[in-house]
Amino acid sequence: MNKTVFCVVVLCAAFISAASGVALADGDAAAGKKLFARCVACHAATPGKHGIGPSLFGVFGRKAGTAAGYGYSSAMKKAAPVWDAQTLDRYLDNPPRFIPGTRQTFRLTDAGDRANVIAYLATLK
């Protein structure tokens, strides 16, 4: 690949990354809290309260597979991304594609809904 093509590819990737970051930052936490009602069948927003899935309290900045007291799949423990807006967005869009072998199958395919849920999750500190 020549330098010009490489630079164009890098600039396009940076633009796409920046654009997706703006969309995530624009999420509505109040709307996300309402959407989180879909998640409570498996997840709690309370510290240390695990259900079928782990508590999502304090999820931002936490390495996946590390919430104390929850039995994670080996796939989640091995993959272990650090959860931030971008990793949560990719995961919620298609969990098995982002972490093959994860037990979560529920997908949140609407980008706006994901941004809102992620904004809500960011408030759980």
The residues facing 82 across adjacent strands are 63
Cα gap 60→38, rounded to integer Å: 19
Question: What pTM, to 2 d.p., does this model score?
Answer: 0.79
Who has greater pLDDT, 13 or 98?
Answer: 98
Residue 82 DSSP code: B
Residue 122, number of CB atoms within 10 A of its CB: 20
Query: How confident is the model at residue 5, as a pLDDT?
Result: 33
Reply yes or no on whether the pLDDT at 14 is more than 80. no
CB 114 within 8 A of CB 92: yes
By the 10 Å C-beta count (0-12 exposed, 13-18 middle, 19+ buried), 24 is classed as: buried
Predicted confidence band of residue 4 (pLDDT cuts 50, 70, 90): very low
Going by CATH, does the domain composed of 3-123 fall within 1.10.760.10?
Answer: yes
Average pLDDT score, the chain = 84
What residues does each domain of the chain span?
A: 3-123
